[in-house]
Amino acid sequence: MFSCAKCGVLACRTTEEKPLPKNCPMREEELLTEAMAAYREPENRQFYITASEIEALGHFQWPRVKETMALCRRLGYVRLGLAFCGGLKKEAKILCDILERNGFQVVSVMCKAGGKDKCEAGMGETYKLHPGEFEPMCNPIFQAKLLNSQECQMNIVLGLCVGHDSLLYKYSDALVTTLAAKDRVLAHNPLGAIYQADGYYRERLDVEGEQAAEDS
């Protein structure tokens, strides 16, 4: 099992020869060869090179919005998809305005598109915010299919729920980048909890505690 997050060697970041940990991914030479071959495939090669160029050009200068636009422009993408959370509709409109001002066509689809009740996707009433009432489901598969139907060249995710974003990625024909990850508690800055993992948020990050409360 790989554990790069806990590695103190970081042999991958230098040409200096270092003793590799027993579970270092660099020992997986066959998989590495396969991955490097994949970068040479036409659909990956230019995309990866361009993304790496953007990393250098915008380093410590460009916000992620500008990096995203620069990537799409250099790749010749004109039609962009925007899959956004209804709770970020104001932010989605601002983003659309920015993208359109910079010459892009934007196909935007909100998470509640389709207007189906959560129960129609198999969810029970218990976990509705208002049990017994109509509650529109987040519909990431429909969002992806709508964007596919419009032949978007790249899709942008803005604040979709945890897991719902995963389904969007799965069903999107185009590659997807995330502009912002949802965190209702931390103003959409999930790393805030990481920075305070040994401080104010230590107890809030205890999943077992939440499960115990749920089971009681």
Report the alpha-carbon distance of residue 7 to residue 76 in Å, rounded.
Answer: 39
pLDDT category at 208 given cuts 50, 70, 90 is confident
What pLDDT does residue 17 have?
Answer: 87
The pLDDT tens digits of the residues spanning 84-130 come to 999 999 999 999 999 999 999 999 999 999 999 999 999 999 989 89
Q: Residue 189 pLDDT > 60, yes or no?
A: yes
Task: Dig out the tokens for 73 from the structure.
Answer: 């422009």
What pLDDT does residue 115 have?
Answer: 97
Q: Which of 143, 152, 148 is closest to 112 using CA atoms?
A: 143
pLDDT category at 18 given cuts 50, 70, 90 is confident
Number of residues that make up the chain = 216
The pLDDT tens digits of the residues spanning 36-84 come to 999 999 999 999 999 999 999 999 999 999 999 999 999 999 999 999 9
The pLDDT tens digits of the residues spanning 154-169 come to 999 999 999 999 999 9
- Compute how many other C-beta atoms are within 10 angstroms of the C-beta atom of residue 120: 11
Burial (CB count within 10 angstroms: exposed 0-12, middle 13-18, buried 19+), residue 77: middle
Q: Residue 29 pLDDT > 60, yes or no?
A: yes
Spatial neighbors of 134 by CB under 8 A, at least 6 apart, are 117
Q: What is the DSSP letter of 113?
A: T
pLDDT category at 213 given cuts 50, 70, 90 is low
Q: What is the pTM of this model?
A: 0.92
What pLDDT does residue 27 have?
Answer: 95
What pLDDT does residue 164 have?
Answer: 98
What pLDDT does residue 59 have?
Answer: 96
Report the alpha-carbon distance of residue 36 to residue 40 in Å, rounded.
Answer: 7
Q: Please name the residue that has the structure tokens 């230019």.
A: 46
